[in-house]
Amino acid sequence: MTEEMKEQQPINAEGGEPTPVASEPLVPKSEVDKLYARTKQAEEREKQYKEQLEKLRPAESAPSQNFEKILEEKFELRHLGYTPEEISFIKKNTPEGKSMLDSVNDPYVKAAINGRRSESTANQATPVPSARSLYVGDKSFKEMSPAERAENFSGENWRRRKKFGR
């Protein structure tokens, strides 16, 4: 073999001897062309998918920024003394693109929150009804005649019964 042929032939890994190059290709040219075309198509599809993914990524990052903004506003409202229920109400009644802190100053939102607060205060101020009924002996207050009521629930008798539980 000539020196040029030895340089063109790949070297065998085992002994350093050159491996003979086949005179005919191992895969027919038509198969290589088909594989090349499929590879090109796959690369083009991959490129299209990457472009679509890039279009979608900014949309994905926007909610996380929006989430952080909403979370900060909720903390601020909580710090201002609003309850979680009131914050939820404010969030539901805040137009898209507007801050919840700005919605707090809306007269309708203010009126609704003040109404809820006054209703809650009124409910908490109302005493719980007593289930006790007045009995003297084996008779209830309703079963007694006016004379018995006057005798049992007037003056000293009433104070003594109330004090000693008789």
Neighbour count for residue 76 (Cβ, 10 Å): 15
Identity at 87, one-letter amino acid code: I
Amino acid 39: pLDDT:
95
Amino acid 43: pLDDT:
96
Mean pLDDT of 29-36: 90
pTM recorded for the entire structure: 0.41
Q: Average pLDDT, whole number, for the chain? A: 78
pLDDT in tens, 129-155: 665 666 677 787 788 888 887 777 776
Those residues whose C-beta lies under 8 Å from the C-beta of residue 76, and which sit 6 or more positions away, are 101
